[in-house]
Amino acid sequence: MATTATASSEGAPADDINKASTRLFSLDALRGFDMFWIMGGEEIFHTLAKTTKSPFWEAIALQFTHPDWNGFHLYDLIFPLFLFMAGVSTPFSVGRELEKGKSRGQLTLRVIKRAAILVLLGIVYNNGLNIMPISQIRFASVLGRIGIAYMFANIIYLYSRERMQMVWFWVFIIGYWLLLKFTSAPGFPHGDLTMQGNFASYMDRLILPGKLYLGIHDPEGLFSTIPTISTGLLGILTGQLLKKTGLAQTRKVAIMAVTGVIFLIIAQIWNLDFPINKNLWTSSFVMQVGGLSLLLMALFYYVIDVLGYKKWAFFFRVIGMNSILIYISGHFIKWQYTTDGFFGWIGQLVGDPYNIVVMAVCFILVKWIFLYYLYQKKTFLRV
């Protein structure tokens, strides 16, 4: 892991971006939009709901929670959207290194190294640096899942053509569906998808060391990482589409948008047999979040890189350029203490009940100012 300055695509014509740049402005902006909710954006709506007791704000706040098991809320999109974008960046990063003459073997080792670092970071994020018995350590993590899925998706990218990558996308999610449909934990009927009875959670209980997040199940378990590879592959396929130079930009937007809608339709149909479920990362969930990710990517790419409206997205770009740093920062920065120190007087001035809403906004502002300082210094955390 290193802290480095990375070249920016800001200010370059969109066609030049597709030909030569290592970054898309729209990709950084969308990544920042995604991380905005992780760094505290969702709390604004939770505090509004708590303060106003309004059914409207309560309904919106509900979308920033996870369903207990089956079902889908918008908050479920944050993690897979980040993984999707990691895939989108692959043709612009790993692909560029291939074009420069790096061997597939060299790049495979780099991908594996990055995955290992993310797995280790995830373990530290979950457990801190405290020494504890293995039985008390949670090994599964968001960063670990991103690392493993990123690794397998990139290896497939390195050693197969685009058409074969599409085949692999379907192999993982159809195979996962059939596997869970015709298996179960011992003592449960085949196809049981409850937390206790599904085959994926059962396998995690068998093979994962340490503890699972929910005791008998871990939402970032090892077995349910299989379909997440398809989420990463979808991002890679999207990145290859965006990188193509012989295709009009509006055509790229149309392909992403239409594919996104088709994916959402398939998700609703598949949901009838294999419910949309983030905990199990079911195949219908892959299609649901894949469709939404494609629509968001199409929107951001069209507005920012095609039409050229970039200034409005600068706020999100600053976040997106240091997304992993802001994700893990809570382990070494006491953000609430810092917010109270700088802006506590504003909360006191506003008073009850809206002081908690104002402080939720200030909480994000403090983090953004920190990221903006790093942005100005061209300092970005890369893994």
Please write the tens of the pLDDT for every residue from 281-329.
999 999 999 999 999 999 999 999 999 999 999 999 999 999 889 888 8
Mean pLDDT of 29-58: 93
Distance from C-alpha of 165 to C-alpha of 84, rounded to nearest angstrom: 14
Coil vs helix vs strand at 141: coil
Number of domains within the chain:
1
Q: What angle do CA 60, 30, 162 make, to 5 degrees?
A: 120
- Residue type, position 341, single letter: G
Q: Look at strands 380-382 and 2-4 and give their pairing.
A: antiparallel
Please write the tens of the pLDDT for every residue from 54-94.
999 999 999 999 999 999 999 999 999 999 999 999 999 99
Q: What angle do CA 357, 362, 363 make, to 5 degrees?
A: 95
- Give the pair of three-digit tokens for residue 153: 């998706």
Coil vs helix vs strand at 3: strand
User: Helix H segments across 247-334?
Assistant: 249-271, 283-300, 314-320, 323-328
Instruction: Please give the mean pLDDT across all residues of the chain.
Output: 90
Q: Which residue range is the domain that position 137 belongs to?
A: 2-382
Residues 6+ positions from 208 with CB-CB distance below 8 Å: 139, 140, 218, 221, 222
